[in-house]
């Protein structure tokens, strides 16, 4: 019985690629140095999978930034502003598209389906001259083969590539991206021909958009694309991989009727209903790559349950046609549990990271083939039973409090217009008030202080003194820049979710459980294993300390319940909304303690609210109802004069704008600049928004420093569709990933732009 892995984490067990990338970007190392680190990581991954007994090992899932950007490079679809003149795309053009450069901004970045991974959105139009401009897929296949590992090269499928793209600036929004299919398929044919010539026996096309709500025209594009590729693909085994949700009956029919396709990869963890489609009608002679090992969470697989599912499927598709696989790429999980030295043995026994999931896949394949490892299965069953019965998982008081939430919508008693009036009397802010989103640059010295405190190398007194000094520096800088509503810079926090999870019960933490978010940016999601509560205040000391350093309003900075949920590895033994309500009650306690401590502006970030939106429209309403309700729970008890902010970033918000309004925050700051001001189109189309709003005026994920004039122009575009008295001026997101040499001039220009507009507005009266 064969086994398969959809994809594997790229960063390395100790984030080796992250550090190599940042060293290269900072011009501290060469392209050759970066390439060597990457080659070593790829070699290690391929050999590890081969040693574990995996038959179908993927290649070309490694990326220096993002796999969709790799496809853009392969197709030569470089926007003209980057000055690429043809030939093989090098690091200069590649990283300029991803990060921008001194003269031009980066391409838009958005969330990869409903994950916390991000991809670079292709910008396409009728005038794009596609050409075969990156041979990475072929090069990596040959590289693995030279190491003695025969792999399945993986490509983003042509239809998904186009459906994930957007019309370039200047191209009509109604332009049909699928009309470009005849232009990109010749490039795919060249790649396929080279892979065949190099000896490839299989090829994997990732077509995850098949799980979305597609119309007949979009489904027909898959049929047309693979019919056109059929001759070129002749002689290859072709796997079409889907993931993250069920397939509709129409999509399943389209998939299983594609020309020239040998195998179908299906997510049977998040796509449990797809199993019924398989049982009712699976094409004879085709392979099923059954994704029964979860690629998006860190819980050990219930091997007995998965084996039962596989045995039922084996009866449908045939013993020699069933391949055990992961539900999706393991990119979305941590790398290796072996590196976790501080997790206690009980919790550790409940978990499986990428390396352990590879072993689980192979163990299931061997069991199906009659070579069951009884000891491995027995240990797994024991761990499953331990997790179900452990007293540390359940807190009856928390469950009772969460159950009592039913029957109320937890809205503040006064409407937002009246609240804003009361808040303005107290805060006395100017027109177009300026603020930032929360974090300030995390310097090497600051990271050293936190690291040494965690390792007990410095005393708590020394730690508190160092953090206070950093807060004072950030406060003084903001006052010098004349920012209106200040933040303390979050120097005590390495990560916005990890910081809160460490102080809440029901959470566990890893040492090296890093997961890539985008580029070199990695996050270390907490593990929610049990009921959640707040034993004591979490931020009150630092916020009060910061407020004592200034007469200007100081924001209390919290992470909202939906974002904590969506940016954690969440327990899978109860519905997600129940866990979210528990977190909301814990944050509510913190909000009310901040208010009692004299903090008049409290920001409750819901950066990840949109990314949790289910992929199926039929499931949107239920998710939005409990997610928005969870946010309102956190602040329903504060006074009218306490201003509640929230922040959202890097998603397509237009389809949830009414839920955003229903959150009933006093002010929302929201990503806008990198997505080409897509957000503003909602207001142009007539949506009325009465609360305060700060669409980001510049992209903080690029080192580029925008001019005062550029920012003023953005603010003017906002003023064309938003009332002057509700508009705030702020960056797109937090500043922790930037350097002070970039932050100071950018914020200075931002404040100058706001003042320029204030003067113009005053003189126009």
Helix, strand and coil in the chain, % to nearest 5: 45, 15, 40
Tell me how far apart the alpha carbons of residues 754 and 429 are, in angstroms, rounded to a whole number: 13
Helix (H) or strand (E) holding 671: none
User: Residue 253, annotated ligand binder?
Assistant: no
Pairing between β-strand 166-167 and β-strand 202-206 as defined by DSSP bridges: unpaired
User: Residue 645, annotated ligand binder?
Assistant: no
Active site residue 701: yes
User: Residue 18, annotated ligand binder?
Assistant: yes
The burial class, CB within 10 Å (0-12 / 13-18 / 19+), for 299 is buried
Angle at 174 between CA 172 and CA 175, to 5 degrees: 70
Tell me how far apart the alpha carbons of residues 356 and 351 are, in angstroms, rounded to a whole number: 9
User: Residue 116, annotated ligand binder?
Assistant: yes
User: Residue 328, annotated ligand binder?
Assistant: no
**383 Cβ neighbours under 8 A, 6+ residues apart:** 300, 349, 350
DSSP secondary structure, 194-241, as one string: HHHHTT--EEEEE-GGGGS---HHHHHHHHHHHHHHHHHHTTSEEEEE
Angle at 15 between CA 14 and CA 21, to 5 degrees: 145
Give the torsion sign (CA, 728, 117, 355, 530).
positive
The burial class, CB within 10 Å (0-12 / 13-18 / 19+), for 313 is buried
**CA 104 to mean position of chain CA atoms:** 24
Of the candidates 118, 488, 629, 701, the residue annotated as catalytic is 701
User: Residue 145 in 3-state DSSP?
Assistant: helix
**269 Cβ neighbours under 8 A, 6+ residues apart:** 291, 292, 293, 294, 295, 296, 327
**358 Cβ neighbours under 8 A, 6+ residues apart:** 5, 48, 49, 52, 54, 330
Going by the DSSP 8-state scheme, the letter that residue 263 receives in this structure is: E
Task: Write 351-355 long-range contacts (CB < 8 A, 24+).
Answer: 351/298, 351/299, 351/300, 351/527, 352/298, 352/299, 352/300, 352/301, 353/298, 353/513, 354/8, 354/9, 354/330, 355/48
DSSP secondary structure, 156-197, as one string: E-HHHHHHT-EEPTTS-TT--GGGGHHHHHHHHHHHHHHHHH
User: Residue 294, annotated ligand binder?
Assistant: no
User: Residue 733, annotated ligand binder?
Assistant: yes
Angle at 304 between CA 299 and CA 307, to 5 degrees: 105
User: Residue 250, annotated ligand binder?
Assistant: no
User: Six-digit token pair at 262?
Assistant: 């040998």
CB 478 within 8 A of CB 495: no
Pairing between β-strand 515-518 and β-strand 521-523 as defined by DSSP bridges: antiparallel
**Rg (the chain; Cα; Å):** 26
Alpha-carbon separation of residue 646 from 27, 540, 670 (angstroms): 37, 18, 8
Tell me how far apart the alpha carbons of residues 112 and 650 are, in angstroms, rounded to a whole number: 10
C-beta neighbour count of 57 within 10 angstroms: 23
The burial class, CB within 10 Å (0-12 / 13-18 / 19+), for 671 is buried
User: Residue 439, annotated ligand binder?
Assistant: yes
User: Residue 671, annotated ligand binder?
Assistant: yes
**CA-based nearest residue to 287, from 308, 256, 312, 311:** 256
Buried b (16+ CB within 10 A) or exposed e, 469-491: ebbbbbbebbeebebbbbbbbbb
Helix (H) or strand (E) holding 119: strand 118-120
| Binding-site residue ranges for 5-methyltetrahydropteroyltri-L-glutamate | 18, 116, 521-522, 567
Active site residues: 701
| Binding-site residue ranges for Zn(2+) | 647, 649, 658, 662, 671, 733
| Binding-site residue ranges | 18, 116, 437-439, 490, 521-522, 567, 605, 647, 649, 658, 662, 671, 733
| Binding-site residue ranges for L-methionine | 437-439, 490, 605
């Amino acid at each position: 019985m064969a086994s398969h892995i959809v994809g594997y984490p790229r960063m390395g067990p100790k984030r080796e690629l992250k550090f190599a990338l940042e060293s290269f970007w900072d011009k501290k190392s060469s392209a050759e140095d970066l390439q060597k680190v990457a080659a070593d990581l790829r070699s290690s991954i391929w050999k590890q999978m081969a040693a574990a007994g995996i038959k179908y090992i993927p290649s070309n899932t490694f990326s220096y930034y993002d796999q969709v950007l790799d496809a853009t490079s392969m197709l030569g679809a470089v926007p003209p502003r980057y000055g690429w003149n043809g030939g093989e795309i090098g690091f200069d053009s590649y990283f300029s598209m991803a990060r921008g450069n001194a003269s031009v901004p980066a391409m838009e970045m958005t969330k990869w389906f409903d994950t916390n991974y991000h991809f670079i959105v292709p910008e396409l139009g009728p005038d794009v001259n596609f050409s075969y401009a990156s041979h990475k897929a072929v090069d990596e296949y040959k590289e693995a083969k030279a190491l003695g590992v025969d792999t399945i090269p993986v490509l983003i499928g042509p239809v998904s590539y186009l459906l994930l793209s957007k019309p370039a600036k200047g191209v009509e929004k109604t332009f049909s991206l699928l009309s470009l299919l005849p232009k990109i398929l010749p490039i795919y044919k060249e790649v396929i021909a080279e892979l065949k010539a190099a000896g490839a026996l299989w090829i994997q096309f990732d077509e995850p958009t098949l799980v979305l709500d597609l119309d007949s025209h979009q489904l027909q594009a898959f049929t047309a694309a693979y019919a056109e590729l059929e001759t070129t693909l002749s002689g290859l085994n072709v796997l079409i991989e889907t993931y993250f949700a069920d397939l509709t009956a129409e999509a399943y029919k389209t998939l299983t009727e594609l020309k020239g396709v040998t195998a179908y990869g299906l997510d049977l963890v998040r796509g449990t209903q797809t199993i019924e489609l398989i049982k009712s009608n699976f094409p004879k002679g085709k392979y099923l790559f059954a994704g029964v090992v979860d690629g998006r969470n860190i819980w050990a697989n219930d091997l007995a349950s998965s084996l039962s599912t596989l045995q039922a499927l084996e009866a449908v598709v045939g013993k020699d046609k069933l391949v055990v696989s992961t539900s999706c790429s393991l990119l979305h999980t941590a790398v290796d549990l072996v590196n976790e030295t501080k997790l206690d043995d009980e919790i550790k026994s409940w978990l499986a990271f990428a390396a352990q999931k590879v072993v689980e896949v192979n163990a299931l394949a061997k069991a199906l083939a009659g070579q069951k490892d009884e000891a491995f299965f027995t240990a797994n069953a024991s761990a499953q039973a331990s997790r179900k019965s452990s007293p540390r998982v359940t807190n009856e008081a928390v469950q009772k409090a969460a159950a009592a939430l039913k029957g109320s919508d937890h809205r503040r008693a006064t409407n937002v217009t009246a609240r804003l009036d009361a808040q303005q009397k107290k805060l006395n802010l100017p027109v177009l008030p300026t603020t930032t989103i929360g974090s300030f640059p995390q310097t090497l010295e600051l990271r050293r202080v936190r690291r040494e405190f965690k390792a007990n190398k410095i005393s708590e007194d020394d730690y508190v003194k160092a953090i206070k000094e950093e807060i004072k520096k950030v406060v003084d800088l903001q006052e010098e820049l004349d920012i209106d509503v200040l933040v303390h810079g979050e120097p005590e926090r390495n990560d916005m979710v990890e910081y809160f999870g460490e102080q809440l019960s029901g959470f566990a933490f890893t040492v090296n459980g890093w997961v890539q978010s985008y580029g070199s940016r990695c996050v270390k999601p907490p593990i929610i294993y049990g009921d959640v509560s707040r034993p004591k205040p979490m931020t009150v000391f630092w916020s009060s300390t910061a407020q004592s350093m200034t007469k200007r309003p100081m924001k209390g900075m919290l992470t909202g319940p939906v974002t904590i949920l969506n940016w954690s590895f969440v327990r899978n033994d109860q519905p997600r909304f129940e866990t979210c309500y528990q977190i909301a009650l814990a944050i509510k306690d913190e909000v009310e303690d901040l208010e009692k401590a004299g903090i008049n502006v409290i920001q409750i970030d819901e950066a990840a609210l949109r990314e949790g939106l289910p992929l199926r429209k039929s499931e949107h309403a239920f998710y939005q109802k409990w997610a928005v309700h969870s946010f309102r729970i956190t602040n329903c008890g504060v006074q009218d004069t306490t201003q509640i902010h929230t922040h959202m970033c890097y998603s397509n918000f237009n389809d949830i704008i009414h839920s955003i309004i229903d959150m009933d925050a006093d002010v929302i700051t929201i990503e806008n600049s990198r997505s080409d001001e897509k957000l503003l189109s909602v207001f142009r189309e007539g949506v009325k928004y009465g609360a305060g709003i700060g669409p980001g005026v510049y992209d903080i994920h690029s080192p580029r420093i925008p001019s005062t004039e550029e920012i003023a122009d953005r603010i003017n575009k906002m003023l064309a569709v938003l009332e002057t008295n509700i508009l705030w001026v702020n960056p797109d997101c937090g500043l922790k990933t930037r350097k002070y040499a970039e932050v100071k001039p950018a914020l200075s220009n931002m404040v100058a732009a706001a003042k320029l507009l204030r003067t113009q507005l005053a003189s126009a009266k």
